[in-house]
Structures are given as structure tokens and as C-alpha cells.
Amino acid sequence: MWRIRMHGRGGQGIKTASQILGSAGFYSGFQAQDFPLYGAERRGAPVIAFTRISKDAILERGPISSPDIILIGDETLLNDPQSAPLCGAEPTTIIFVNSNHRPKELSQKFEVITANLTDLCLQRLNGRTIYSSALSAVGARLLGTIELEDLLQAVEDELPGVSSQMLKGNLDLAREVFEMVQPVAIPQRVEKALTAKPLVFPQHLPVVDGAPIILDPGNMALRKTGNWRVERPEIDYDHCNKCLICYARCPDGVISLAPDGRPEIDYDHCKGCLICAQECPGHFIKTVRETGIFP
């Protein structure tokens, strides 16, 4: 069995990528299983998806802690200790990162494969960075057991309702990435026998004892959602006239006022919605794409 784990951000098509890869594996004659793992977050929040492909019945359930292949759609997640996309990786794990950095710049510990999927998506998908077809094509090609025709069929089936132009762009993108990436040899691991665990019978408690009672004050400020950003707003203070419209329009209240009256952005909690840049009358707030800083 092959275990593939995908990391990305909400809105980048990570869940759909796992579905496409699972369907492509099924069309190629394998058993397949795919599912995402995320909470009720918004666009930009870290997302994980899993795909299992096997010649035999898949009896495993739940998240994949020791993957054979890790596909990372956003290189900035490598700096995020909460996402920890390399967690569970072993020396034999195949790791792909969507990046234009050289592999050695991304990790000194693991062998990494890189390709710039972002530029390909911008070219093929009318300026959009949705990695579903591209990332699934990487996974299919790395496995070396999935035919291109099956991958393209999966892309078409898992993208219902899109326009014919967008579907063609995704098909062309999947074909280009599939032909660009080279398959690799994935070491066969010794499968452990699955054993049933004893049943757990929960104890019924009175409502007073069983209901959750939270006495601590709110701590949302400790959750630094700034790592959800793909792009950051930056204020041009040479031209800012302190109209404070950005301060009033920020939906998360992360723009505060400095002692001299200038608006300041709290980048620890700014999620990168860029509403401030859209609302600025003089267009004095520019957008800058986030990039990773690696040791």
C-alpha cells in the first residue's frame, strides 16, 4: 500500500487533489481511499489531506502518520511548527515541495523534490493558484503506477460544474506536470498485521459532571493566525494620509493606531484577506506575496 499525505492552505484545492489522486488510482485498477482533515477555518488556514492506494483491500483508517510520499503545496508551511508537514517523514520518504527554491535550500535533513507549480497554475488557470490538478499529477507520476489517461479522467470527474475553459486548463496543467515530473522508486515497507483493539464503553455521568465547563478567559489572541497568509498588505507610509479607512474596514481588527496616528498592521494575526488594500482610496496599500525563510 502507498500512503500519500498532502499539505496546503484552504482554497488551494488540497482536498480535491487527494480526491483526484484517489480516483486516478481506482481507475488504474487499485483500491483507493482519500479524505481531508481540517476545521471550520477560512481560506488560507493550513489543510491536510490523505490518500491511500493499494493492490489489496485497505483496512487502515484515520490520518497517515508515516507517509510514503509527502506533497506540500505551499512552501511557507515548512516554517509553521503547527502544520509540521515533515512530521513522520523518514529517510526513505519522498518529499515534494511546490517551490522555486533549490532542494537544499528547503531542507538539509531530507531529500526534497521541487517544481514551481505556482507559475504553471497562473499560466493555465487564468491567474489562479489552485493546485488540485497539478499536485495530484505530481503524486500520480511519483507513484509510477498510474496512467496519464486515468489521471485525466479523474481530473474531469472530480471537477464537475467548472467551465469548459477551466476544465481544459486543468487537463493541460495535469498533463504538463505529469510529463515534467519523473517517477521514483518507493521502498516497500513491511506491512504490520492489524489487530482489533478492545471496545471502550463510555460511562454515563450526570449533566453537571459530564458537561464541559470553561472557566478560563478567552485566549484567541494567542492563536497567531498570521501564518494563514499567502499575501501580506504593506502600507506605503510615504503617501498614507491617515484617513483610517483601512482601520475601520479590517474585519479582524488587526489594524491599530500608532501614537502618531498612523495605521499599523498586526502581522501576527493578519490573515491576508487584503480588504484593506481594496478599500484604501489612494491605493497606498500594496500586496506582497509571502515567501519562506529557510535555514
Residue 29: the pLDDT is 96
Q: Residue ranges per domain, the chain? A: 2-180, 223-289
User: What sections of the chain are H helices per DSSP?
Assistant: 14-27, 103-106, 117-124, 132-143, 148-158, 164-180, 207-210, 245-249, 275-279
Question: Tens digit of pLDDT for each residue in 184-235?
Answer: 988 878 777 778 889 989 888 887 777 777 778 888 888 888 988 889 999 9
State whether CATH 1.10.3720.10 applies to domain 223-289.
no
Distances (CA, A) of 41 to 20, 62, 107, 219, 291: 23, 20, 29, 17, 22
Question: Tens digit of pLDDT for each residue in 23-50?
Answer: 999 999 999 999 998 876 678 889 999 9
What cell numbers appear for 241 in the block? 494620509
Residue 41: the pLDDT is 66
Q: Would the pLDDT of 295 be above 70?
A: no
Residue 79: the pLDDT is 83
Please tell me the pTM assigned to this model: 0.84
- Mean of pLDDT over the chain: 91
Residue 294: the pLDDT is 60
User: CATH for 2-180?
Assistant: 3.40.920.10
Q: Would the pLDDT of 150 be above 60?
A: yes
| pLDDT tier, 80 (very low <50, low <70, confident <90, very high otherwise) | confident
Q: For 32, phi and psi rounded to 5 degrees?
A: -145, 150
